[in-house]
Structure 1
Amino acid sequence: MRKFKFYATSLLILSILFIGFSSCKKVCKIEADDVDSGLIVESVAIYPLHGYITQEMSDEYHVHDASSIAHKFKMSTDNGFTQSPFNYGEYSILAYPMTLNCSFSIVRDVRVNDANMTATYTITVTQCKNPECSEQRYIENFIAVPAIPESYTILHDISIVEQ
């Protein structure tokens, strides 16, 4: 009877430990800060007229004064306290829509090559491999850069790193 109690107690303890350790999932949380570099003007906040506006852009993610949707953006240089029409004489808007998992960080960079008449918008996303949420997030990646002529080709260098 004593051996039975010992085995039963041991089995119970092992079962509790097994269930406890096997039911714990490692929660993925990306702690890195977002970084903007290169020609990105961080002091300009962009306010589109409505969400999902990149769906109206037909893969042309360079908004300049001659763009058909140019009038759909406002800007602010004081964290949104005042908004004014976007100043396309001084800035251009670049975008690149993405659907990402809940926890992510983004590193964005823009470089212009005047000799080749190109601008490269580089985006590196670090995100959790398995989403810990029920819905993913759609982001449009709007950034302001010094005015880029409409004749320039915008190149996108996109990479996604999963942890």
Structure 2
Amino acid sequence: MLANGKSADDFVKEAVEALLSEQWKYRYDLDLETNLKRTIRSRIWTWKKKSDRQPLADHKGMVSDDGTDFDPVSNAVDPGPSGDVLVEQSEQHELQRIFLEEFKIHLKDDPELSELLSALEGEFTKPAEIEELTGIPAVRISELKRKLESKAARFMIDHPSAEALEKYGTNRKTK
């Protein structure tokens, strides 16, 4: 649907009517499809030129029935996700939680990676912030991030919760 309630079907209908009523000259050296395409293209171009000259409707200053200002965009209702989407999101979050908990257990023998993961979970991403939080020298943070990413990729390859996450497209399997 286009502005002013026009659809593609409306342009096709207008083109057929214009050709049948001889409002638009039918070129016999061209086939029917080409004649229709030319007519439709012309109708759309004419409509576009006309609509370009018309200002867009401004909804500011609209007044509701009770006399108060009304903004239809601000007052539009967001239907939110459907029930099945909420269930799927809940399953996905649970799988992610399980995966993360099991990955933390996998890292228990490497205290620096465990601390780095905890810092990243807390949304600390800058080396200086991580150093202040964990005591790990900032110069080592990039190296440890690469090591953590590598361990996570290897952990994902055969982990059951990572397999389940693959269903949701949230897991990038690498070998």
Bin of the TM-score, shorter chain as denominator length: under 0.3
How does the TM-score come out when normalised to structure 2? Answer: 0.22
Greater C-alpha radius of gyration:
2
Kindly indicate which of the two structures has a greater share of residues assigned to strand: 1
Kindly indicate which of the two structures has a greater share of residues assigned to helix: 2
